[in-house]
Structure 1
Amino acid sequence: MEHEELFPLLCATADGKKEQFAELYTKTSAQIYAVALRILKRKELAEEATQDTFIKVWHGASNYQRSKGTVLTWMVSIVRYRALDLLRYHNIRNEVVLDPDNDAPSTSMDVPSTEQRRLAECIDELDEQQRQAIHLAYYGGLSHQEVVKHLNSPLGTIKSWIRRGLQSLQRCLSL
């Protein structure tokens, strides 16, 4: 779906084409909402984060840089940052429930799809530290400082694990 469908829709959105933006929304809103809900755990805040994300996509579609990741990855990062902002604004403490078998949250998303299964396969190929750091930051919605406390590792190390893990995921997903 990613290459064939989302990129042309985002390009058309950058040109102000409402029909293609509506189609982009239809194809991605469930995944964006699932990420927001996973982080915020409150329906009304997840809806707000999702709406804010699509407003930002509408206004900032021309800022997307293909070399830095897929369209969906870009959109997920927008919703993640918005959700974290809402957590801070509402002073919500986000608790991450870890899987006792591997000390990392489950990779299952609320909307299973071929892309989600592929992502789960790629995540499984990461080093354990990278996988944990990415899970805590992106699925758990923790800030880098919170990941530092949770994994009891230095900030630079956490940032390196996340950066290298995301690069590995990008390579894996592009195959």
Structure 2
Amino acid sequence: MYDREHLIAALSRVANGDKAGLKTVYDLTSAKLLGICARILKEQDEAEDVLQEVYVSVWSRAGSFDRERSSPITWLATIARNRAIDRLRSRRVRPADGLDQAEQVADASPDAFTRVSDAQEAERLRHCMDGLETTHRKAIRAAFFDGLAYSHLALRDNVPLGTMKSWIRRGLLQLKGCLSG
């Protein structure tokens, strides 16, 4: 588990070349990022290799993290996801005979219809999230987009754990109703 501000501070230290900052980032996020890599690659050894590449990338790109554009865990998860997908794509056998066999290579990227549909779904989700009570919306964002545990959220917001769970459950039920309607 991590504290957003603590992770932001550690990334800032990494951007300044602080190895201890990188160790802090690793300690706070490696389990989550390894999970992302393992889910995509389906092989633990390969996921661990990619995770190492992720932290090499974090070391060199920490200065580009912008806390105004995304949360630190979202930024890190995106790097892990992209690295794992790159590794997955590199596994594919490439046609050796040139253009004659190019039609047999599937394009894994989404087609235009899928991209438009995904964008519409994202906009619908954003609209439904905006319709939630502020406490419910913030709790859901922190739990599902930032990866914070319910217990951490309850402590952060100084409410009982049961209250936090209720806020999130009620918010999710409202989201479900909004998205299905």
Under a length normalisation based on structure 1, what TM-score does the superposition of the two structures give?
Answer: 0.59
Q: Deviations along 1:34-81, whole A, 9 cap, x unmatched?
A: 110011110121012111110010000000111221111100000101
Q: Provide the C-alpha distance between the structure 2 equivalents of 1:76 and 1:166, rounded to a whole number of angstroms.
A: 20
CA contact (8 A) 1:14 1:60 kept: yes
Q: Deviations along 1:107-138, whole A, 9 cap, x unmatched?
A: xxxxxxxxxxxxxxxxxxxxxxxxxxxxxxxx
Under a length normalisation based on structure 2, what TM-score does the superposition of the two structures give?
Answer: 0.57
CA contact (8 A) 1:2 1:70 kept: no
CA contact (8 A) 1:144 1:158 kept: no
Is 1:54 the equivalent of 2:55? yes
Q: Percent identity?
A: 26
| Higher mean C-alpha displacement, 76-85 vs 156-165 | 156-165
Q: How many residues align?
A: 120
CA contact (8 A) 1:11 1:61 kept: yes
Aligned-partner SS, 1:68: coil
- Counterpart in 2 of 1:11? 12
- CA change 1:163–1:36 in 2 (3 A) is farther
- Counterpart in 2 of 1:158? 118
Aligned-partner SS, 2:110: helix
Return 5+ residue gaps in structure 1 as ranges: 93-142
Q: Provide the C-alpha distance between the structure 1 equivalents of 2:125 and 2:90, rounded to a whole number of angstroms.
A: 29
Return 5+ residue gaps in structure 2 as ranges: 94-107, 131-136, 147-156, 158-181
- Matches for 1:20-169 after TM superposition, within 5 Å: 20-91=21-92, 145=110, 154-162=114-122, 165=125
CA contact (8 A) 1:2 1:71 kept: no
Q: Please state how far the C-alpha of 1:163 moved relative to its aligned partner.
A: 6.5
Q: Provide the C-alpha distance between the structure 2 equivalents of 1:166 and 1:89, rounded to a whole number of angstroms.
A: 34
Larger helix percent: 2
Q: Which runs of 4+ in 1 moved over 3 A?
A: 162-171
- Which structure's CA Rg is the greater one? 2
Question: RMSD of the TM alignment (CA)?
Answer: 3.0
- CA change 1:163–1:29 in 2 (3 A) is farther
